[in-house]
Structure 1
Amino acid sequence: MKAIICETYGPPEKVVRITEVPTPSPKDHEILIKVHATTVNDYDWSIVRGKPYIYRIFFGLFKPKHGLGMELSGTVSALGAKATKFTIGDAVMGDTADFGFGTFAEYICINEKAVVQKPQALSFEVAAAIPHASCLALQALRDLGKIKEGQKILINGGGGGVGTIGLQIAKLYNCEVTGVDSQEKLAMMTSLGYDHVLDYKKVNFTKAGELYDLILDCRSNKASLSYLKALNPTGRYVSIGGKPLNLIGLLLWGKLVPLFSSKRLKILALKSNIGLDYICDLLAQQKIRCQIDGPYPLEDAGRLLQYFGDAKHKGKIVMTTNS
């Protein structure tokens, strides 16, 4: 089978390549999935480059020890001896990160708990694009952010996979939503329904004087306390990721801020695939839609990883195996 591999750290277009590897066989509680579509995530960008360097403690000190890819849609091709959740031919989807990586391939063996049934109403491309980003957006806004009707919300990184879904979830609550991203994405963001869009190169939202009830941050690239200046007196800030030092700062200040303020600084610890059934229902009912960048062939993985790293993608980058 074809698979994307990365045997050393470096620029994606130089170190990522496609090759032939043996098709794996499922262990007891595993299923073999024929991958139809997969996506690019921040994990992939980080593991290929080995940066930030602290990640190498987990990824491998001198070369990556994990495969690329953590999201998929596909069909079940074989069952392990003790796998009972699915039958051969079932269409499945999911964020596999809790159980393993390696979805940049034509086939993958993974624990059957890593995926869920794919609704018939969803295409394989959409089914691959939503598990990670939509669950991040939903858990950040609804579960940690405690979103309420008619709030004023800002999404930093509003033009990516999380931001485009987050906007639409916020609109279900009739919120006024501001999106922050690069100039190249602003027109697309406006067409999706953002009430206001900001070019991050021209406007620092923490210094613009506007106050928000809830901030969803996909970047977390500013000093922790600066976010307090952009929150209403009881406002909440939720980060879904960023540079390690920034996240450490947020973690520490998140404990201290409640001692002197009603504002809150939170970091989301994602629960993979939790809430995915709700998102699938919204998509099936056409209450939200998935913004896909692609689909592209799996062979383009190196170029697409760099494209992701340059933050030029609009929505979620999807690759198909065409197998």
Structure 2
Amino acid sequence: MAFNFLSGLFSKDLGIDLGTANTVVYVRGKGIVAFEPSMVAIRRSDKKVVAVGEEAKRMLGRTPEEIITIRPLKDGVIADFDAAEKMIRYFIDKVHNKRDFLVSPRMVIGIPSGTTPVERRAVIDTAYSAGARDVLLVTEPIASALGADLPIWEPSGNIIVDIGGGTTEIAVISLGGIVVSTSIKVAGDEMDEAIIHYIKKKYNLFIGERTAEEIKIKLGNVAFGEEKKEYIEVKGRDLLTGVPRNVELSSEEIRDALKDTVDIIVESIRETLEKTPPELAADIIDKGIVLAGGGALLRGLDTYISEQIGVSTIVAEEPLLCVVKGTGKIIEEFERYKQVLSNASENY
């Protein structure tokens, strides 16, 4: 009886992609059970949580002064400890039934490879405060590579480029470890900012973060040379008159708006490859570059990187889920994969 009870507890262990834009949760034995925006709406007067996740995102830009909408993570790390704790607690409660109130899950959490010891400690402390019994960290490139089914245990080079909301993680992996890596704070959020800036500069129209993200999803591309244009009508506030106004944007305009941001990512990939040992670089030429994360869905990005770098580039299957699927593999087969946790959780 005791064995069955403990087995039930361990089956509730969680793998979490704690992203700047989205939080995705994997439950041992069940798979992915939650995928929601990393957002919390809080009442200013008493700091009480009004909404979390998708519900909080719907409030973005539409709340009264008494309610603020917070993104607890910025550039892949925790920026607001209290909001992050409440958000993690929300996801723990969401994926467990009321009868599971005694469960204190083990958590495997993906973090950017460039995080400092202080930033890692913030993730660990936040997860413990939210109710975890044990917290283990794995760098996002390793988790993403596992989720993309790359043969990371082999003595050969694999390169993963994970373009998230706050950071882009680039890593060359061999024998289960990172050989060369680059972590830059240029990713999906910067693409949204580039769209906001472009529309403000060209049309004197101010749009919000949510509108910019919608434009990126619908028209975002780096498909140079494509003759077919797509259009979308965008609503915003005229900066000269202060009244609402509409403009029509083309996919070509959004491509131009995103080019500088995309080129920073491409240059970082190039620099990472330049630091890669020649034997592993030769493997990468044969295997190609694998893209993961939400940014991998930008139309034409794989082709553009291939043309600029000279190495074939492919998009992983379900790129948005690569990190959480990687943490899920670790949760399901902990003894097999615990080696990849050692570098992320050492010194604690």
TM range (shorter): 0.3 to 0.5
Larger Rg belongs to: 2
Determine which structure has the larger helix proportion and give its number: 2
TM-score (norm 1): 0.34
